[in-house]
Amino acid sequence: MNPIIRKELHLHMRMRRGWWLLGLYLFALCGTVTLVYYNSAMNARRGNPVGAVVGTNVFHTVVLTQLVVLLFLAPVFSAGSLTIEKEQRTLAGLLTSLLSPFEIWWGKYAASLLYLGLLLFSSLPILSVAVVLGGIGPLEVLAAFGVTALLLASICSIGLYFSSFFRRSVHSTALTYGLLLATHILSFVAFAFLEPSLAEAGFSWKKMPLLLNTFSCMMSVLGIEDFGWKWRRSEG
Query: Mean pLDDT over residues 44-71, rounded?
Result: 81
- Percent helix, strand and coil across the chain, each to the nearest 5: 80, 0, 20
Maximum distance among all Cα pairs of the chain, rounded to whole angstroms = 69
Pair 221, 211: CB distance under 8 Å: no
The full length of the chain comes to: 236
- Give the model confidence (pLDDT) of 140-170 as tens digits: 889 999 999 999 999 999 999 999 888 888 9
d(CA 181, CA 122): 26
The sign one gets for the Cα dihedral 42, 44, 48, 50 is: positive
pLDDT, tens digit, 9 for 90 and up, residues 3-24? 888 888 888 777 777 788 888 9
What's the pLDDT score for residue 4? 85
Residue 105 DSSP SS3: helix
Residues 6+ apart with CB under 8 A from 129: 33, 37, 55, 58
How many CB atoms within 10 Å of residue 184?
Answer: 17
Please give the model's pTM, rounded to 2 decimal places: 0.80
The mean per-residue pLDDT over the stretch 198-216 comes to: 63
pLDDT-derived band of residue 206, with 50, 70 and 90 as boundaries? low
CB neighbour list of residue 199: distance below 8 Å, 6 or more residues apart:
206, 236
